[in-house]
Structure formats: C-alpha cells, structure tokens
Amino acid sequence: MSRSDRAPPARRQPDLLDWTPPEPVAAFAPERRVQAMQMVAHEQKVALSSLYEWAKCTHGLAREDWLPALAPRHGGGREAAELPAEGWAMLKGDFLRPERPNFTACYRRLVRVAAEQGWQVPAERTLHRRMMEIPEHQRVLLRDGVDALRRMFPAQQRDRGVFHALEAVNADGHTWDVFVKWPDGAVGRPHMVAFQDLYSGKILSWRVDVALSWHAVRLAFGDMVEAFGIPRLCWLDNGREFAAMPDISVLTGAPGVGKTRAACQYKRLNPNVFKILAEPALSTVSALLGALAHELRVTEVGRQDRVARLLKQRLAGTRALIIVDEAQHLTTEMLDQLRAFHDQAEIGIALVGNSAVIGRLEGGRRSNEYAQLYSRVGMRLNRREPKKADVEALLDAWSGRLFVRVFDGAGNVREDIAGDVLASITTMQWNGPAQAHGLASPCQGGVEPARPSAWAACGSALR
C-alpha cells in the first residue's frame, strides 16, 4: 500500500486541562483592546458598555474569581412607604381630570399636603408606576374625554355581502348647502330624504322639500315600496322627522299676506289646535302661562311652576299644536318655556310673525341663546308676498261686488299688484266694504259693479 492510500492520522483532541487561556484583553495595546471589545460585543450581541463594566469588575482578579465578581449584588433596599387611602384618592383625582396635569406637578402637590397631614409618601416613580396600572381606557376617558376613548376602538367594518337586493335599506336626511328659489317665490335651502339599498348602494327613492319632515319621509318610503317592493329590514336615522315627533315650525312673512287669517282658519278646520296672540303686553313667562291656561281652559292658578305643570299634564299625550301669533314679541325666557312644553309634552309649536322671528334664531347669537330651540325647528317658511293663486281665489270669491285698482306714487297703474291687492282686500274684509273708498296711496280701491273689461285687465296683470 502506497503512502497516498493510507488513511490520514486522527487528530488528537486537546485535553481541557492542557488548554491555555488567551491573552487577557487588558494586556492588549489600547487600540487592539478597543477592537477586541467591539468584535466580542458584535459577535455575542452584548452592549459595549456592559463589556467595559465587566472588565472593570474583574480587573486585577484571578480568572477563577471572575464569576463571583460578576454575580449581581442587589440589596434589599429600604422599606416601601405606604400612602394612605385618602392620599391616593387625592392623587388620582388630581391627575385623572380633563385639564390633563403633569404627574410630577400632581406629586409635588401631594407632597405638600402630606407634610401637613403627616403622611409617608412613596417615591414618585413608585406612584407613577401604580398610576399606570389603572386600565388605559379609564385613564383616557377621565383625562381626554369620550371622543378620545371612542377613537381607541377599531373602526367598524361592515360586509354588504350578507344581504341580497332589497333585503335591507337605510334612510337619512340631508340639507343641501345651496339656496334655491321655490315655485312660490320663497328662497331657502332644499332638504332631501332618501332611501338606499344596503346591498347595492343604489338610491331607491328620494323626496326634496322645504324642510325635513315626517311627510317627506312617508312620501319617500311610499315611492320606494311602489317602485321596488317592501324591504325586510329598514334602518332609520334618529332625527325627529323619522320619529314622527312634532316639530317647532317658524312661519314668517310680510304684513298683509294673511298669516293671521291662515292660522285662524287652520284652527277652525283642525281639532286639538290652540292659538294665542303674543301681544306686547304678553312680555313675561307668567303672562304667557296665563294666556295658555285661558286657551286650554285650565282654571287653577298658582305659582308659575304649578301652572306650567298643570299645562304639561293637560297637553301630554294629546299631540296638540300651539300657534303663537306675533311671535316676534316673545322673549328668550318665553321661547325656552315653549321649548319645554314641546319637549316634555311632545306637542307641536308654530311661531308666526315677521322676519324678526327667524332672524333671532339664525343671528349671531344662535350658538348660545337659541341653539337648543333652533335645533328643534323642523320647518321654516318665509312668505315675502302672496301667491298668485291666493289673490285669484279672493278675487273670484268677491266677483260681482269688488273692483280694486292699484296705482303707484305717480298715479300710474302698477303691474305687480299681487301684494297690494291682497292687502286691500284683507283691509276691506275687516273694515267693511263701505270704508274701502279712499285707501291710502299707493293703493286705492272702491266697491263698484263688476265690469268684464276691468276683471280681464286685472287678470292679465296677475298673470
């Protein structure tokens, strides 16, 4: 067998007793010592500062004594101070408040009080650690508020795949941020009620009106049922229009358009409707309660709170409507009292008057004085001039007995006569036809036999 075919000799494993430790790092040159420290810290995933600390602990010791030298030397420490229960309650109350004070400032205030009361106060770190043991959601709620606590919860994820078409729908109202002119000439923001299919997101029906009301909700729902069918589930908004609760309505208009006559006629035609006049003499809450008690035939009298309680008992469950004419004379306290009747007795309130009524609600002070009242207003209607159909209906009712001609300051016949005609007719109805002659300029009227040419001219001017 040749030498190349022989197996290589086995390497002898070194005996542990024969092993010689490497040269101590401390014996290295300074530059080599730094390199060695960095290399060992990188290979062993140890902080470089820890290696230097260990080298300092073992400096000058024999190798067999390194392990005892590196053993921890934690002492027992001092005895922990126990904070009394009232002190802990004070610290929690000071720290867990909406002002969100710094914990160090709260601890300093505790120390000052503890010196006066003779309490033993633990270290600041100890109390801070104990404070952080309080559940986070409780600390966030007390220091940051409900909105911050709500943001801690993950956003809700909805899956439309569990539905089929028209199985579930939802509805909501929206007020468009534009002003439009309605067919009757009124200007305001349009309000829309819409129903949506939750499976496809398709808008199934909608209605646009001058205000969000239960009437618009019912019409939109009827359109959906008529066009697509009856859904199995329906989610509605929590607005008053969906709950069919009575609203507060504000009806304003120029003098002579028939606001008072319309209110009186509505009261005559509908039961459970009560009307009071807010004349200037009705300037206090007590006077308002007295007028309501007279209208509702509540004869018992007494203090304001007693009368108000009796009126609420009388109105509760009736779903009545209280019409307040000349509402521009109502004070803030009187409006608040009407709002209380509306909320607690669940009745409707209609404020009728001039433009000052809605001006007070929508003015610069709306955010503080009238915010609660304004949020309950479900319908706002401003009639600047009478509708042409109203004037024609009155002219037809007086056909054969009345003729009205309207002039301007120069004595010329006015073209836009709708407002003046209705005001003149209203005045004649109240004062009698015999007093209709010689009306103040620019309106002049007289009671004459009907003349076809005159009615034709008047009709063409209205159209």
Query: CB of 361 within 8 A of CB of 250?
Result: yes
Question: Residue 171, SS3?
Answer: strand
pLDDT bucket at 412, cuts 50 / 70 / 90: low
Query: CB of 350 within 8 A of CB of 324?
Result: yes
Q: What is the pLDDT of residue 210?
A: 85
**What's the CA gap between 231 and 192, in Å, rounded?**
21
Name the phi and psi angles at 192, rounded to 5. Answer: -125, 140
Residue 177 has pLDDT above 50, yes or no: yes
**What's the CA gap between 285 and 335, in Å, rounded?**
9
Query: CB of 251 within 8 A of CB of 184?
Result: no
List 277's β-bridge partners, or say none: 325
Q: What is the pLDDT of residue 65?
A: 86
Name the phi and psi angles at 82, rounded to 5. Answer: -105, 120
Highest mean pLDDT: which range of 190-199, 287-296, 380-389: 190-199
Mean pLDDT of the 377-387 span: 72
Q: Greater confidence, 72 or 17?
A: 72
Q: What is the pLDDT of residue 317?
A: 81
Q: What is the pLDDT of residue 419?
A: 46
Q: What is the pLDDT of residue 296?
A: 87
pLDDT digits (tens, 9 = 90+) for 394-408: 667 665 444 455 555
Q: What is the pLDDT of residue 56?
A: 86
Question: Residue 170, SS3?
Answer: strand
By percentage, how much of the chain surpasses pLDDT 70? Answer: 70
pLDDT digits (tens, 9 = 90+) for 331-381: 888 888 888 888 888 888 888 888 777 666 655 444 455 656 666 676 777
pLDDT bucket at 186, cuts 50 / 70 / 90: confident
Whether residue 442 has a cis bond before it, omega within 30° of 0? yes
Q: What is the pLDDT of residue 243?
A: 63
Domains of the chain with bracketed CATH: 20-70 (no CATH), 85-152 (1.10.10.60), 162-243 (3.30.420.10), 248-383 (3.40.50.300), 388-462 (no CATH)
Residue 108 has pLDDT above 80, yes or no: yes
